[in-house]
Structures are given as structure tokens and as C-alpha cells.
Amino acid sequence: MNVANAMLMPLEARAFWEFGAAIASLPLLRGVAGGDGHSVVVFPGLTGSDLNTLPLRLFLEECGYDAHGWDESVNLGPSHQAMARIVARVRALRRSSGERVSLIGWSLGGIYAREIARRLAGDVRCVITLGTPFVDVAAGREPPPVPTTSLYSRTDGVVDWHSSLHGAGEARENIEIEASHHGMGVHPAAWYAIADRLAQPEGRWKPFHRGGWRPWVFPEPAVSH
């Protein structure tokens, strides 16, 4: 953790209030975009489990998606055994539904999501990461060959937001929100952006639209150089 993150660390206490704001916003968020029923797998961050991603998965179910946890225990970092099991699960979801699977990773969980998308590009529809420091991980720097969205926050008290930025490129984007690291997965702006990205028809990806009221919530994002 650098000095800037250490100064922002007290702001991580916002996570409780961010979750409350998401619950209060549900009546509005439900109308963002209807899901098409395709499978979505959500990966927790370091020391997190499926319990941490349950609110997001319940929201995705309400939106009309077939949402799944990663079905492992606590995320203690990259594991060849866990990766092999998750790859098998994604393949099974693709076979059972006949549709590509979307992957969402919170913090370190995004490293899993990006690596699986690299291995199973033909089975993955898109990748969305939340506060994932992929620039700091050698194996995670190169984006997967599928549409990839990185949500980040300049007020992240754990991860240096610069490490969550994609460089310019086709079908990759950064979306900035004002959130804590621990609250990013339960933040109403994050839920809105996730629902918007997942609702895109397969094969017709477009960058996140910031017209109308959106610049008040989603600033013009930075780009890695």
C-alpha cells in the first residue's frame, strides 16, 4: 500500500453506507437493463468468499441473469487447483446453456476472471473487474481477447487506482466511480454499470455511454499510458 492509499484507508468505512445506498436504490436499479438469462460467475477478492458477492449476485438474478459464485472457499490468492476447477465449471455452464459466460471479479477475483477469459476466450462473453490491480500482476497485464471493463475508484483505500487502468484498445474500457475498495461490489453506481455492460447483445459491444446525467456519477475515465 502506498502513501496515497494509506491516507485514503479511513474512507474504507464507507462500505457499510455504500451497501445501504445500493439497497435504497434497488427500485431504480431494477429498471436499468433486463438480462437475457446468460450465466454470470462472480469472483470474490482476497480473503473473500461467495458470501461477500451474494448481494451483487442477488441483484443480477433480479436483473434476469443466471448468477453463480465461484464455489470455492476463501480466496487466498492464485491457485492452480482452484483455477482448474473453475475452468471446468465455466465450460460446464457454457455447455448446459449453449451461451457464453460473463465473468465478474472483485479485486483479486478479477485476476481469476481475466486469466479464465484468456484460457477460454470462446466460452466467455465479457469480463468486468472491480478495483482489480491487474497492471501490478505480470500475468494479468495483457487484457483477455474478449470485451473487458475495469471499474476503478480514485478514492480506493486499498488498491492504487492507476493499476486498474486499461490502455487504449479495442473492446476494453475503464469506468470511474467514487467508491471504497471494500464497498465497490455493493455500490449502486457499480451495480448500474455492471447491469449496463452485461445487457449488451453478444457481438455488439459498445463503450459505456456517458450522455445525459451520467457524467455526474461516472466521470470521464483515465487511460493507462
Q: Are 5 and 161 in contact (CB under 8 A)?
A: no
pLDDT of residue 166: 93
Q: Is 64 left (phi over 0), alpha (psi -120 to 50) or beta?
A: left
pTM above 0.85, yes or no: yes
Task: Answer positive or negative: Cα dihedral of 57, 202, 134, 192.
Answer: negative
Mean pLDDT score, 105-127: 96
Sequence-ordered list of residues with C-beta below 8 angstroms from that of 178, at least 6 positions apart, any chain:
153, 154, 155, 189
As a whole number of angstroms, the distance between CA 194 and CA 217 comes to 14
For the sheet containing 39-43, what is the strand order? 66-68, 39-43, 101-106, 124-130, 148-152, 172-176
Q: State residue 143 phi and psi, 5-degree precision.
A: -65, 150
Hey, what's the cell of 29? 436499479
As a whole number of angstroms, the distance between CA 220 and CA 131 comes to 17
Secondary structure string (H, E, C) spanning 1-45: CCHHHHHHHHHHHHHHHHHHHHHHHHHHHCCCCCCCCCEEEEECC
pLDDT category at 115 given cuts 50, 70, 90 is very high
Q: Are 136 and 163 in contact (CB under 8 A)?
A: yes
pLDDT category at 17 given cuts 50, 70, 90 is low
Q: pLDDT tens digits for 42-62?
A: 999 999 999 999 999 999 999
pLDDT category at 139 given cuts 50, 70, 90 is low
Q: pLDDT tens digits for 71-80?
A: 999 999 888 9
Q: Which CATH number fits domain 3-201: 1.10.3720.10, 3.40.50.2000, 3.40.50.1820, 3.30.565.10?
A: 3.40.50.1820
Hey, what's the cell of 79? 491457485
Instruction: Determine how β-strand 39-43 pairs with β-strand 124-130.
Output: unpaired
